[in-house]
Chain A
Amino acid sequence: MLRKVSNFVTGTARMAFLGGNKLYYAWLGLLAFCIVQGLFAYAQQFEHGLIVTHMRDSVSWGFYIGNFTFLVGVAAAAVLLVIPAYVYDWKPIKEVALFGEMLAVASIVMCLLFVMVDMGHPERFWHLIPGLGHMNLPSSIMAWDSLVLNIYLLVNLSVASYLVYCAYYGIHYNHKIVVPLVIFSIPMAISIHTVTAFLYNGMASRPYWNSAILAPRFIASAFCSGPALLLILFQILRKVSAFEIKDEAIHKVAELMSYAMGFNLFLFGAEVFKEYYSNTHHLVHYQYLFAGLHGKPSPIALYAWMSLIFAVVSFLLFLIPKTRRMPLTMNIGCVLIYMSVYIEKGIALIIPGFTPDQLGQVYEYVPSATELRIAAGVFGIGFLLFTLMVKVSVVILFEREQGPAHA
């Protein structure tokens, strides 16, 4: 058994790093560069403290936590693919569900890294380990979040590696193990994003987040951004490898995305109506997001408008069957959706929540170069992990001669 596992590890490592084309190695090189420069930036932050970021007491969370939130959404969106595949037993999507789970694993790893780089004392992470530390349960949503994120990571990592392991040896996976875990991962996916939304939602100190619509908005936007990434990936894989996916599957996912985006826009509209029509003091956060305060233009307004316009355009592109099926317009839609949600979570969620601060003071936060570099490093690690996992799976599932096992 141990020998089999070690063979599997060395075998998959060989598949991951050998036999790629030039473009593949160039991509790995780019990711390696991102990681190395990120490590240098992090070394600087480790030495001087979080003062090298542009976060301050007024805006005490910024780009790191924005990215964290976005990636929780990407991770949760794996369910969009898993639900139809396993619950409705819809065959064309079944193979791609594995990639969804791998994306979830890579995203959660990035989430945890973003939390780590945001912590003032990352070496005290053990204070959060149940039994060892001192978790503030049940009252702290942050404590719940760390619990569900780690469980979600564990579940997806086990399922994905078990499926790949079985495929590697050409044996059929055990339904009794996989199906319950996959079913379990569906409510888990909803819960990680809901709990993350509650983290902000529960803070009465921040009227911008203290809205019951926040968690549904998180779920709706996640159902757009995660699949957008996967659709682009599938088309690339289809071009450069023996990976197969039917157009039917891609179009079905795109259709589901259009509903999700439509719902997301509706919820956003409901939020905007409530704030602007009631016109209370709480409106200041929206004013900062879309225009500026005290006659000064806000540095994030441009992004906020971009996000909104991208969302509307991509919604239309995905809603109309013709543009949804045409590769060019569909890919434009995917990119726009991804960017729209990235801005929405990375910039438009966190920063206006803190601006103006609790005492009405305005601190104009924009991320520092160090924050951008560290974020690039974290994305480098996540994408590298994802790339290697995908490469191994493609080789095992589609390119290897013997054992055409299907996950």
Chain B
Amino acid sequence: MSDLTVTPLPVPEPPAEGFTRREALILGLFALAGAATTSGCSSDQKAMDEFVQKHFKDLSPEELKTVLARMEKNLTKKYGKPVTVSATPAMEGVLFGYALDLSRCIGCRRCVYGCVDENNQSRDPQTHYITVLEMDKEKGVDLQDANAYYDHETVPAEGKFYMPVSCQQCENSPCSKVCPVGATWKEPDGIVVIDYNWCIGCRSCIAACPYGARRFNWGEPNIPADELNPVTEYLGNRPRPRGVVEKCTWCLHRVRKGLYPKCVEVCPVGARKFGNLLDPDSEIRYIIENKRVFILKEELNTQPKFFYYYGL
């Protein structure tokens, strides 16, 4: 599944005793609301810990450690194998960028399923981060005439070309702008992330995203234990709960360790390119400087860091 080694599981720390003032306040509210919260949780303590958990950015380093340990413990128990949850920060001096060669893409959807395996998307109901659009060569890029549900024996089909679309990691991201609780934001390396434990599931971001890149967990996500990728990140590919939004993070758990995103790795025709936009010698910079690149829906001023080009 993943070519990363599994780091040894840290010993989970016991939850802190007693409640802070803030927690007490929240608990009081909780009692007022009278909601028997967080369905599907085996233990009340786990539900309570999750309920009172702060926003990711408000967690102190100690609190973050406790949260990660709690998650590792719960996931290890749920999937019956050691699962790690890290919070690897962005690297200094890195701004990631992506380029996709439309003249090479054959529409095989290997990226789609490679991504699902790598990022622990739900298998049933099926969640995909990448939508591959089939379009007529005659008409060029025309979304109103695109078909995401093509189903041929073999690809590419005669007279068609393919345009995979996933999160464009906009510099000016409309999704994070509209989020009422700040549960999604752009990291210093340019990747837009979500705190799945803070997201209230209002789906404003899905409405605001011009690229159809965001996915909601309408039902309980399902991943067979033997297919789970156990190397996970808090803001990335850890298994998501029901009722929250998720999206492509350019395999944050890989790229922050110097690996390519899975889709880049599995693409059989080399249509996908990835690198550091701040590094003048990177392949991504070469493409932007030497090919005719374009971005999707340029007029919306979202400033995607995802570039399309015709390499051949």
Contacts and interface: CB of A to CB of B under 8 A. Distances in A.
Interface residues of A, number: 55
Interface stretch (B92-100, B217-225, B248-256, B274-282): B217-225
B216 A136 contact: no
B212 A357 contact: yes
Interface stretch (A42-50, A214-222, A243-251, A377-385): A42-50
A361 interface: yes
Interface in A346-395: 353-354, 356-361
Interface in A5-54: 46-51, 53
A127 B54 CA distance: 9
B198 A132 contact: no
- Interface size for chain B: under 10, 10 to 19, 20 to 34, or 35 or more residues? 35 or more
Nearest to B200: A124
Interface stretch (A94-102, A202-210, A228-236, A304-312): A202-210
Contacts, number: 168
From DSSP, what is the main secondary structure of chain A's interface residues? loop
Contacts of B144: 281, 284, 356, 360
Given A56-B218, A135-B182, A358 B201 contact: no
Interface stretch (B7-15, B69-77, B172-180): B172-180
Interface in A175-217: 199-200, 202-206
A122 interface: yes
Secondary structure of the B side of the interface? loop
Nearest to B35: A123
Nearest to A118: B202
Given A49-B243, A121-B244, A122-B35, A204 B210 contact: yes
Given A48-B219, A120-B244, A134-B55, A57 B26 contact: no
Contacts of B206: 57, 60
B203 A141 contact: no
A53 B219 CA distance: 10
B38 A123 contact: yes
A61, A133, A139, A143, most chain B CB atoms within 10 A: A133
Interface string A97-135: 000000000000000000100111111111111001111
B21 to A, nearest CB: 11
A206 B180 contact: no
Given A60-B206, A120-B217, A360-B146, A128 B165 contact: no
Nearest to A119: B201
A49 B220 contact: yes
A358 B174 CA distance: 13
A203 B178 contact: yes
A143 B182 CA distance: 10
B269 interface: no
A397 interface: no
B59 to A, nearest CB: 11
A57 B200 contact: no
A118 B204 CA distance: 11
Contacts of A206: 207
A54 B198 CA distance: 25
Contacts of B177: 139-140
A361 B212 CA distance: 10
26 contacts: A50-B216, A50-B219, A51-B125, A56-B218, A119-B202, A126-B29, A127-B198, A129-B29, A133-B181, A136-B182, A139-B178, A140-B181, A142-B202, A202-B178, A203-B174, A203-B207, A203-B208, A205-B208, A353-B207, A354-B207, A356-B144, A357-B212, A359-B212, A360-B143, A360-B146, A361-B212
